[in-house]
């Protein structure tokens, strides 16, 4: 049970650490290079939506989630996702 609490605390710390204006700007620029968009600002940490080049939207994402997605986009073809 303690492992789960530690994992949850680490995940929350990562979400908070990534939630900066600098990371938001960096991720917007990185996604744009590949035809993706980062949009929206709802309340809370999971306030972003990511839109792929075909117009499909993933809502309720954090900047930490978007960073993970950006790494996948960079390392593979967007059509493979």
Confidence of residue 6 (pLDDT cuts 50, 70, 90): very high
**Nearest C-alpha neighbor of 35 from the set 21, 24, 22, 50:** 50
Alpha-carbon span 67 to 62, nearest angstrom: 9
Residues 28-71: pLDDT tens digits?
999 999 999 999 877 788 899 999 999 999 999 999 999 999 99
Look over the chain and give the mean of its residue pLDDT values, rounded to a whole number: 89
Could you tell me the CA-to-CA distances from 63 to 2, 39, 57, 60, 80 in Å, in that order?
A: 26, 11, 15, 10, 22
């Amino acid at each position: 049970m303690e492992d789960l609490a530690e994992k949850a605390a680490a995940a929350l710390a990562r979400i908070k650490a990534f939630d900066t204006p600098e990371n938001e700007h960096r991720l917007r620029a990185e996604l744009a290079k590949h035809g993706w968009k980062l949009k929206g600002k709802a309340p809370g940490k999971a306030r972003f939506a990511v839109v792929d080049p075909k117009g499909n939207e993933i809502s309720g994402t954090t900047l930490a989630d978007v960073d993970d997605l950006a790494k996948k986009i960079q390392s593979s073809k967007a059509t493979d996702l």
